[in-house]
Structure 1
Amino acid sequence: MTDKHQEDLMHIRSMMERSSRFISLSGLSGVFAGLSALAGGTYVYIRLKNLGVDYLTSENAYYEKELVLEFFLVALAVLFFAITFGIYFTFQKSKKNNHPIWTSTTKNLLINLTIPLFVGFVFCLSLLMHHLFVFIAPATLLFYGLALINAEKYTFSDIKYLGYLELLLGMASLFFLGKGLLFWIIGFGVLHILYGIILFKKYK
């Protein structure tokens, strides 16, 4: 009888988890988002190399606004591919596990994720407009970290640890202005891939 009660409690807990948290998030989304970021970061590095700038050794290099705008568009392209992969793998996992996609939990997740990201986007646009280019990479890491922590209560709790790491990277990059690309690649590339692999193995 005790085993039956425990089984019932586990079933109830599982149902509550599905109703209160978005559990169709796929680890593969993180992996491919990270690969997209690595591709974007590699493009920027090679672009600078072709212009005669060794990013790893140059100190306080000045970049024209047009070049920074190009890199900003590259970041938006990375975001586009990351979202596309995220939607695709989420639908695949949801279909496989027969879980509904659009629920009140999904809406709460998107709202809590989108608000910090939208504010961060506007903030980065203002930095671009005022030629404060060196603060753009730290700002993207900081606002992204805040967005993940803010959305954690509506999906896997593990996501908050990724958020904390993004915040730490963003704060650290404020003390190494001009090297934001390296922190950006680590935060959006390497950490996403590692987190995605962990998430995939844990919740597949």
Structure 2
Amino acid sequence: MTKEKYLDDLQEIRSIMQKSSRFISLNGLSGVLAGSYALIGAAYAYWLVEEKSKGILVLGSTIFWQCLGILATVAILSVGTGIWLTTRKAKKNRESIWDAKTRSLLGHMLVPLLAGGLYICISLWQGRYGQSGALMLLFYGFSLVSASKFTLGYIKYLGLSEIVLGLLSVSLPGYGFWFWVLGFGVLHIVYGIAMYFKYDRISRT
């Protein structure tokens, strides 16, 4: 057996093991689009607060609920786009979209995400919304790191980056909005492009 043949066999075995243990049908374009949705939503929310309420966001006001509506719309569009593109990629690669790998991925991701969401909702209900952006970044980062061992390696680094931004947001009060924009907007686009060129573009050739 030649050295080249041996290396090819090792590469094939590694690929088979990765496919059997990890959910690899995530689509990089979904990250790019999610980041774009976040930037558009953030720009509109910023305009609402600055132009309609002179830069002051009052809990329970019309502008406040409009901003929450924008946040919910961004989340729904991001999740919906991710499911659609991931399902399409899985079908193209003849991979199952719902199996043990998917269930493990969702289980490890949803526990910290739901716990964080409930904590943020309770904090908003109690009128403590100053650190909401930082908490979103932190719990989202925790959920990505927790789920990363069941999917692509880039997800772990995205999660760690979100956690770092969350901690910086806590350390620098008054800049939470901009850290949110950087985490959910810019970082999603950057990591989405990186994933696309490493995984999706290669699979198309």
Secondary structure of the 1:46 match is helix
Contact 2:165 2:183 in 1 (8 A): yes
Q: Using the alignment, how far apart are the partners of 2:118 and 2:53 within structure 1?
A: 32
Tell me which amino acid in the other structure corresponds to 2:172.
Answer: F
TM-score (norm: length of structure 1): 0.91
Structure 2 counterpart of 1:90: 86
Runs of 4+ in 1 over 6 A off after TM superposition: none
Cα deviation per residue 1:1-38 (whole Å; 9 max; x = unaligned)?
Answer: 13433332222211110010110001001000001101
Secondary structure of the 2:157 match is helix
Contact 1:124 1:139 in 2 (8 A): yes
Q: How does 1:1-204 map to 2 (within 5 A)?
A: 1-2=1-2, 3-54=4-55, 61=56, 63-66=58-61, 67-204=63-200
Which stretches in structure 1 are left out of the alignment for 5+ residues? 55-60
Paired positions, count: 198
Tell me which amino acid in the other structure corresponds to 1:6.
Answer: L
Farther off after superposition, 25-34 or 90-99:
90-99
Contact 2:49 2:57 in 1 (8 A): no
Contact 1:65 1:131 in 2 (8 A): no
Q: Using the alignment, how far apart are the partners of 2:95 and 2:52 within structure 1?
A: 50
Cα deviation per residue 1:121-166 (whole Å; 9 max; x = unaligned)?
Answer: 0011011101111111110000001111111100011111111111
Offset, 1:40: 1.0
Secondary structure of the 1:174 match is helix
Contact 2:138 2:167 in 1 (8 A): yes
Identity of aligned residues (%): 40
Offset, 1:99: 1.7
Secondary structure of the 1:142 match is helix
Cα deviation per residue 1:50-101 (whole Å; 9 max; x = unaligned)?
Answer: 22524xxxxxx45232333332232121111100110111012112222221
Contact 1:127 1:135 in 2 (8 A): no
Secondary structure of the 2:131 match is helix
TM-score (norm: length of structure 2): 0.91
Which stretches in structure 2 are left out of the alignment for 5+ residues? 201-205
Q: Using the alignment, how far apart are the partners of 1:49 and 1:197 within structure 2?
A: 32
